[in-house]
Amino acid sequence: MRFILMGLAALVLSACAINNPVTIQSVVDDRPLVTFSVSGYDIDQLQLSIDNLDYGPVSQYLNMLDLSEAALRIIPGQHLIVVFNGRQIIYQRDVYLGESSTLMIRLQQ
């Protein structure tokens, strides 16, 4: 009986010790950001293309209240960024974006 009680006590104490060492790790997203500032254009007509891939309307990357929510995150490296107004190219730039960089593209008519 004494061995059973000692065994139960050891089990309870060892179970408590398992939960003590807790580590918390945070992950940092350091991908480059691309965002837009538009004046003079109908933002519903502007389309974004990066490296010949359609990224949809520019309007989804316009949020002046929270830049991190509105910005497009892409992988670091060399990119060809093109903005179309209908079928007309209004912005085209070959750019290198490094980690944690932000590119603000200003489109003015």
Encode 62-99: b = buried (16+ Cβ within 10 Å), e = exposed: eeeeeeeebbbebeeeebebbbbbeeeeebeeeeebee
User: Residue 91 sits in a domain of what CATH number?
Assistant: 2.60.40
Statement: residue 22 has pLDDT above 90: no
**Domain presence at residue 21:** no
Per-residue pLDDT tens over the stretch 25-41: 888 889 999 999 888 99
Number of domains present in the structure of the chain: 1
Give pLDDT, residue 11.
67
Contact predicate 105/50, CB 8 Å = no
What is the value of pTM for the model shown? Answer: 0.71
- Amino acid at position 101, single letter: S
Give pLDDT, residue 6.
73
Give pLDDT, residue 71.
86
**Domain presence at residue 3:** no
Which of 31, 38, 15 lies closest to 77, judged by CA? 31
Per-residue pLDDT tens over the stretch 49-107: 999 999 999 998 886 655 556 789 999 999 999 999 999 999 999 999 999 999 999 99
Give pLDDT, residue 4.
76
Domain with 88 in it: 42-108
**Domain presence at residue 11:** no
Give pLDDT, residue 63.
62
The whole-angstrom distance between residue 76's C-alpha and the CA centroid of its chain comes to: 12
Give pLDDT, residue 15.
59
**Domain presence at residue 71:** yes
